[in-house]
Every structure is written in C-alpha cells, then in structure tokens.
Amino acid sequence: MAAINTDLSKIGYTYEDIQRMAQVILSNTNLRPSIGIICGTGLGGIADVVENPVTVSYDTVPGFPVSTVKGHSGKFVFGTLSGKPVLLMMGRFHYYEGYPMWKVAMPVRVMKAMGIETLLLTNAAGGLNQSYKTGDIMLLKDHIDLPGLTGECVLIGKNDERQVFGPRFLATNGTYDSDFRGKFLRVATELGHGDLMKEGIYIMIGGPTFSSTAEARVLRMFGADAVGMSTVPESVVGRHSGMRILGVSLITDMVELEDGSQFQVTHEDVLRTANERAQLMQKMFLKFVTLID
C-alpha cells in the first residue's frame, strides 16, 4: 500500500504561483477578456476564426505544464470572436498524461486570476446513449465525476479561500448554466443544426483506455449519456471560483454496449470527427459569444 502523503506543501499551486503565471501571460497583451474557452481534442479550430490573435505558448510560462496529446497544441490565444474579447486554451491537461488532478485543472485558476468569469468547455466524447449519433453535439446538463467519487476529486489538498480558489466544501449541482444551454440551442437551431443537438450527462473516466464493453454498460447504467477523459475537473474548479459554465461535448464515436462488436475506436477516429465538425463549431461559437452578457 502506498505511503500516505502528510506533506501538504507538495500538493497544489499556491495563490502566489497562480498570480505569477497570470501576470506572465497577461504581459503579452493589453486585451482583458472575461470569456475563456478550453478547446477539446481536435477542437482547436475555433482559434482559426479569432480576430487579431496573440499567441502565448505554455512553455513560455514558468511552472506551466506542457501538452503531450495529439490535437492539443499547447498555447493560449487572445483575440476577439465576433468582436468580443476571448481567451482560448488550445490544449488541456489530462489525468492520464500523468498529471495529478490538482495540476490538470490549475489553468482554470490562472484564467480566473486573469479576469475570466465565463468558462466555455469543449471536449470530444463517446456516445453511450444509443439514440445519439457520431457527430452529434451534447450540451452538458450535469456530470458524473467518476475519479472524484473514487477519491481523486480535483479539490483535494490544501484550500485557500482567496479570490481564485473558493470554499472548502463545494456544492456541484447546477454547475452548467441553463441560460447558456438555452442560448446555445437557439444558435444551433438558427444555423439549421438543431437536429444534432442533445442535452445530457457526461461521465469522466481517467483514461487513457477507452471503455471495455462491460464498463460502458456500467457507465450507461449510472445514467451517463457520453463518456470522456476531461472537463469535469475544469468545471469543478471553475464552479469553485464562481464562474458561469457551458460544457459542450462533440460525440466523436459511439460506444458499443453489446458484446461481440468488431469496432475498436482510436484517437484518430476522434480527431477525424472533430475535424469534420470544426467549421460548424466555429460558426456556433461565433454566434454564441454574441449572446453572453
């Protein structure tokens, strides 16, 4: 059995670490966006429609982790979308990359320290609800934090109640803003793609293995509509610091619930579907941000 870690100074970033990283990043631009977007696997295409982009590579920020996954380029992009200032994270961190959970979502605290109040999270996910299809877009109405339920909650560790952190004990019901969901659905319908839209429950697994068929049946029995390997730590930290949150899953593959299927999903399948939906996601976000107060 692993030794219990009693040295709390080795868990988490301090308030000062977060502020320092925020200052380094902000020193690259005069823009001060209040909208932050984290781009999921292959979903960085939104950056192609950012006007007057200013790019800040993660490796220029001392103490910032590096992206190791294909489809996550590892940089911030400041600019405007439909004239509104935004900050994009092109590349998120995943638990399966070997980062401890508190590191996975640390950038959300840095975003808060930079002035972000609205957090738009995107991800690639597998469809568990068998009425979904590859290429559908699911708005998160709730999530299941499977790592959190089994002892790997992102908020474990010392808590600092100053601005970029939050209360020791956090209610996580109602994390995903229902007004945002309604607006996003309206945008999709106006663009003629209401048929692709779903609202459902995202379950996070640690990864990097995709689910076995028996595991997938369990996830579905839990009530999840889509499965992925991210987002939940970020939305919990965003919620902790008082942000308004939208979660969008692109259903990049359908997960088999019946034994005997020959289909085996790959990361390339995920990237391909994300690429096929890139232009539509751009259009949706360009329109959606105009509706954020």
Ligand X SMILES: O=P(O)(O)O[C@@H]1C[C@H](O)[C@@H](CO)O1
Q: Which residues bind ligand HPA (CB under 6 A)?
A: 124-126, 210-211, 227-229, 252-253, 255, 265, 270
Interface with ligand X, residue 272, by CB under 6 A: no
Residue nearest to ligand HPA (CB): 126
Please choose which of ligand HPA, ligand X, none residue 220 contacts, taking the beta carbon within 5 to 8 angstroms, the exact cut-off set by kind. Answer: none
Angle at 21 between CA 51 and CA 100, to 5 degrees: 105
Residue nearest to ligand X (CB): 40
Please choose which of ligand HPA, ligand X, none residue 126 contacts, taking the beta carbon within 5 to 8 angstroms, the exact cut-off set by kind. Answer: ligand HPA
Q: Which is nearer to ligand X, 71 or 166 (CB)?
A: 71
Please provide the DSSP assignment of 211-262 as one string: PPHHHHHHHHHTT-SEEESSSHHHHHHHHHTT-EEEEEEEEEEEPP-STT--
Per CB under 6 A, the list member of 75, 94, 103, 181 interacting with ligand X is 94
- H or E element that contains 102: helix 101-104
Per CB under 6 A, the list member of 124, 224, 237, 255 interacting with ligand X is 124
Q: Which is nearer to ligand HPA, 152 or 177 (CB)?
A: 152
Choose the stretch contacting ligand X; rule: CB under 6 A; options: 154-162, 193-201, 224-232, 233-241.
Answer: 224-232
Beta-bridge partner residues of 90: 39, 75
The torsion region of residue 165 among left (phi > 0), alpha (psi -120 to 50) and beta comes to beta
Q: Are 53 and 75 in contact (CB under 8 A)?
A: no
Interface with ligand X, residue 267, by CB under 6 A: yes
The Cα-based distances of 199 to 71, 86, 237 in angstroms read 25, 25, 22
The Cα-based distances of 261 to 129, 134, 264 in angstroms read 17, 16, 8
Would you tell me the crossing angle of helices 106-113 and 15-26 to the nearest 10 degrees?
Answer: 60
Q: Are 51 and 81 in contact (CB under 8 A)?
A: yes
Interface with ligand X, residue 175, by CB under 6 A: no
Looking at residue 3, what DSSP letter applies?
P
Q: Which is nearer to ligand X, 36 or 166 (CB)?
A: 36
Q: Which is nearer to ligand HPA, 33 or 200 (CB)?
A: 200
Per CB under 6 A, the list member of 228, 233, 238, 247 interacting with ligand X is 228
The Cα-based distances of 86 to 111, 139, 148, 163, 285 in angstroms read 11, 20, 30, 21, 11
Q: How many residues bind ligand X (CB under 6 A)?
A: 13
Interface with ligand X, residue 40, by CB under 6 A: yes
Q: Which is nearer to ligand HPA, 177 or 225 (CB)?
A: 225
Binding mask 204-223 for ligand X (x = CB under 6 A): ---x----------------
State the residues that interact with ligand X by CB under 6 A: 40-41, 69, 92, 94, 123-124, 207, 228-230, 267, 270
